[in-house]
């Protein structure tokens, strides 16, 4: 049992409140997953710039002098530290370079996510503590997703927490269990995708990344998942400008959605949505089994 939430803002006037709204939604789902928690926030992008969110179990060592060491390695960057995580801002053209350099000069650092706009924060602990640790309430943005985890098949670790990100500005949270993830992992490794964990959710994220790399949009990739992924699942997915939801054909995992002219919201339970603006006038529904829902600021995910 896990709790997942998502919020896609249609009204840009709500963007300064994204972190606050999403944090309240996530904390409400604490009893569905007290082991660990995480959020992905899609903020504004800067042309020609990219950012990489990194995590370290020893931030006082790994983040010390990181700007200097990156510059000496030929990758100028600005590093903003938030507890066990840091956001490394670089020129977009150097995104592949910074991954290689970090692996060389900070081998214990792990990349949580990268892209033009996404920042991903996740840690072991209660959602309220994770939200406070990374000052999520102060963050603005256009959309975001979150997850509270109750581990059932793997250890409680930072890397095992959601969201999982396997592509630029892409991430996924999941409630359920996949039965064919080991076979899919082997196929995706043959296609060149690297994995950090044995978690089935990371396989789902990588599957969508691989499908979108073939030219599919988010809706098409999610439709393909209904045929190619076995098990019980509810996915909420973020891309640079898009937000998608899909449930497996049996749809035994709880889910509810709300839509107004200002936002689209998802929660594992309705109580995650009750404090959203104008929720009393929202269209409320349970997403149908084997049905893809997605929205996009650019009209194509």
Cβ neighbours of residue 163 under 8 Å, at least 6 residues apart?
Answer: 38, 39, 40, 113, 120, 122, 145, 146, 147, 171, 172, 173, 205, 238
- Say how far apart CA 138 and CA 252 lie, in whole Å: 35
Using the 8-state DSSP alphabet, how is residue 65 labeled? T
**85: alpha, beta or left? (left if phi > 0; alpha if psi -120 to 50):** beta
What is the CB neighbour count within 10 angstroms for residue 156?
Answer: 14
Is 171 catalytic? The answer is no
- Out of 1, 2, 239, 250, which one is annotated catalytic? 2
Residue 192 — left, alpha, or beta (φ > 0 → left; ψ -120 to 50 → alpha)? left
Q: Which helix (H) or strand (E) holds 25?
A: helix 18-28
What is the separation of C-alpha 96 from the centre of its chain, rounded to a whole number of angstroms?
20
Distances (CA, A) of 20 to 84, 169, 266: 21, 21, 16
**CA–CA dist 189, 105 (Å, integer):** 25
Mind telling me the catalytic residues?
A: 2
């Amino acid at each position: 049992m896990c709790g997942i939430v998502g919020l896609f803002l249609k009204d840009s006037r709500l963007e300064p409140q994204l972190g606050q709204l999403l944090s309240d939604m996530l904390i409400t789902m604490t009893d569905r997953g007290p082991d660990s928690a995480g959020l992905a926030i899609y903020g504004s992008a800067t042309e020609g710039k990219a950012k990489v969110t990194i995590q370290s179990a020893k931030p006082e060592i790994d983040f010390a002098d990181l700007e200097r060491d990156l510059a000496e390695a030929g990758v100028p960057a600005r590093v903003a530290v938030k507890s066990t995580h840091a956001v490394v801002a670089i020129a977009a053209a150097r995104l592949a370079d910074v991954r290689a350099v970090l692996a060389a000069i900070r081998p214990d650092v792990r990349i949580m996510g990268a892209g033009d706009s996404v920042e991903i924060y996740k840690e072991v602990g209660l959602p309220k503590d994770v939200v406070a640790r990374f000052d999520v309430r102060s963050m603005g943005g256009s959309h975001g997703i979150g997850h509270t985890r109750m581990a059932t098949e793997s250890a409680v670790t930072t890397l095992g927490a959601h969201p999982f990100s396997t592509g630029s500005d892409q991430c996924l949270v999941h409630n359920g269990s996949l039965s064919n993830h080991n076979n899919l992992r082997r196929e995706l490794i043959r296609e060149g995708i690297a994995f950090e964990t044995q978690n089935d959710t990371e396989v789902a994220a990588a599957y969508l990344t691989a499908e979108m790399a073939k030219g599919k949009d988010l809706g098409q990739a999610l439709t393909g998942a209904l045929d190619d992924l076995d098990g019980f699942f509810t996915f909420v997915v973020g891309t640079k400008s898009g937000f998608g939801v899909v449930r497996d054909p049996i749809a035994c995992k709880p889910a509810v959605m709300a839509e107004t002219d200002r936002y689209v919201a998802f929660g594992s339970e309705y109580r995650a949505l009750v404090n959203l603006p104008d929720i009393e006038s929202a269209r409320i529904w349970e997403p149908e089994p084997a049905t893809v829902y997605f929205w996009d600021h650019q009209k194509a995910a």
